[in-house]
Structure 1
Amino acid sequence: MTTDMRYAVVDVLKDADAVAMKMAELLIETVRNKRDGKARIALSGGSTPKKLFSILARPEVAQQIDWSRVEIFYGDERHVPEGHEDSNHTSAKTLLLSKVAIPAAQIHPMPTKGTAQADAAQYQTVLEHAYGRKTLEAGHPLFDIVMLGLGTDGHTASLFPGEAVLQEKTAWVGVSAPKTAPHERLTLTYPAIASSKLVVFLVTGENKVPMLARLRQGDGSIPSGCIVSEGEILILADSAAAGEPS
C-alpha cells in the first residue's frame, strides 16, 4: 500500500530540540528492530538534523545503536568540493559520523568530483549495489528511513519547484539547479524516496506555517506535497511550524 501526504501522521512537539530528540529515538528503534541486514538511512541537511547529529553523538545515546548495522546515505547534496561548509556530508561527518563506531565502508556520501550528471549516475550505482537490484521492487524498500526537510518554497531534498528532476520516473538520483538557492545539487528522486519503509519530515520554525499546512493537505502544486512512500510518512513538527502555542 502506498501512502501519500494526505495520510501522513503528524506529531507536533514543543520545539526543534524535541523534534531532533524524537528523530533520534526513531533511528534507535529502527536499528534495534531491523531483523536482517543493515538499516539503510538517508540523511537530510538543515539546522534540525544538525541538532539530531549532536544528540546521536552523545556517548550515552551513541551506545544505544549498533553502528555496524547502519548504512548511511543522503537525500541530497550540494555539488561542492569535499569538506565544503555547505556540504550536508561535511555537517554529518563533523557532528556525528567521525564520533561513532560506524565502519567507513557503510557511509556513502554523494560524489561531487565529476560533473553533476556523472556523479548522479555514480550514486545510483552505489544505491543499486546496496539494494542488490537494479530495479525498485514493491515490498523491498530501498531505505528503512528517509529524512526530509521542508523549504519555505515547498521544496524537499533538492526537489525544487520547476526543476526537470520532478518529472523523473525511473532514475533514483537526479540533478537540480535551483534558481532560488545556491549550488547545483544531487538529489534522490520521487521513485527512490517512495521506496522506503518510513519517510520523516522534520519541520521547524514559524516561517514554515503556510507551507506545512499545504504539505499536510497533500498539495500537489509543491514538490514536497507529491512525496509518497510504500511504507509510512511521519511529519515531526515543532509547535511554531504547526502554528500552535508552545
Structure 2
Amino acid sequence: MTTDIRAATLETLPDSEAVALRMADLLVEGILAKTDGPFRVALSGGSTPKRLFEILATPSRAKQIPWERVEIFYGDERHVPEGHADSNHTVGQSVLLSRVPVPAQNVHAIPTGGTAEEDAKAYEKTLQAAYGAMTLDPQRPLFDLVMLGLGTDGHTASLFPGQPVLKERTAWVGTAAPSTAPYERITLTYPAIQSSALVVFLVTGASKVEMLERLVEGDSSIPSARVTSEGRIIILADRAAVGEYP
C-alpha cells in the first residue's frame, strides 16, 4: 500500500549530528537486513548528508557494511562538469566512496556530459538496467532507501516549485531549471521515489521550521509533501527545525 507524507514517522533529535548518526544507523541496519540481492540507495546532497558520509567512512562504521552488496545512486544532481565542486557525486566520492571498499561498478553517478535531457534519459536507462525492467512494480521497489532533504522553498531532490517535472508520472528521471537555485538539474521523479521501501527526509536548522510543519501536515502546495513511498517514510529532524511544532 502506498504511503503518503501524512503517514510519515517524525523523529525529533537533539541536533544535526544526531540526525546524521541516526541516518547512519538506519542505513547500516537496512543493508545488513537485505540478503536477497543488492541494497540500492539513492543519496542526497547537503551538509547533513556530507556529515553522514564522514561517519560512514570512519573505520568503525565502514567495517560494519558489506560494501559489495551496496549499489549507490543519487536522488538528483546539478548539471555541472564531472569533478565540479558543486556536484553531489564529487562530494560523495571524495568524502565517502573513495574511502570505503565499494566496487566501482556499484556506483552510479548521474551523467552530466550531454544535455540535461539526454543525461536524464541515460540515467533512467541505468536505473532500468539495475532494476531489470522498464516498468516499476509496486511489489518490488526500485530503491531500498531514498534519502531526501527539504529546502526552505519546500523542494526536495530537485523537485522545485513550479517546475514541469512535478507533473511527470511516467519517466523515472527528469530535469529542472529552477529560478531560485543555480544550475540546471537532473532529478528522480515522483514515480521513482515512490518505488522505495523506505524514504528518509533529513531536516536540520531553524530555517526549516515553517516548511517542516507544512511537510508533516501534508501541504500539497509544496513539492516535498507530494512524496510517496511503497514502504515507509521517516522524517529525521533536529530540535531547531522542529521549533514549537507539537
Please indicate, yes or no, whether the TM-score normalized by the shorter chain is above 0.5. yes
Question: 1:7-22, aligned counterparts within 5 Å?
Answer: 7-22=7-22
SS of the residue aligned with 1:134? Answer: coil
Encode CA deviations 1:18-38: one digit per residue, 9 max, x unaligned.
Answer: 000000001100110002110
Residue identity matched to 1:132: G
Code of the residue aligned with 1:74 in structure 2: it is: Y
Other-structure match for 1:186: 186
Aligned partner of 1:241 in structure 2 is: 241
Following TM superposition, the consecutive aligned residue runs of length 4 or more in structure 1 with deviations greater than 2 angstroms are none
- Taking the TM superposition and a 5 Å limit, the aligned residue runs for 1:97-246 are 97-243=97-243
Aligned partner of residue 212 in structure 1, secondary structure: helix
Q: Distance in 2 between matches of 1:101 and 1:113?
A: 26
Q: C-alpha displacement at 1:138, in angstroms? A: 1.0
Provide the secondary structure at the position in 2 that maps to 1:22.
helix
The answer to whether the aligner puts 1:71 opposite 2:110 as a matched pair is no
1:80 aligns with 2:80: yes
Residue 58 of structure 1: CA displacement? 0.1
RMSD: 0.8
How far 1:153 moved relative to its partner? 0.1
Tell me how far apart the structure 2 counterparts of residues 38 and 48 of structure 1 sit (CA, whole Å): 25
CA distance, structure 2, for counterparts of residue 229 and residue 218 of structure 1: 14
Distance in 1 of aligned mates of 2:138 and 2:159: 23
What's the offset of the Cα at 1:244?
5.1
SS of 1:241 mapped into structure 2: helix
1:116-164 CA-partner distances (Å, limit 9, x unpaired): 0000000000000000010001110000000000000000000000000
Matches within 5 A, 1:9-88: 9-88=9-88
TM-score normalised over the length of structure 1: 0.99
Mark the runs of 5 or more structure 2 residues left unpaired by the alignment: none
Between the aligned partners of 2:35 and 2:140, the Cα distance in structure 1 is: 14
Identity of aligned residues (%): 64
- Equivalenced residue count is 245
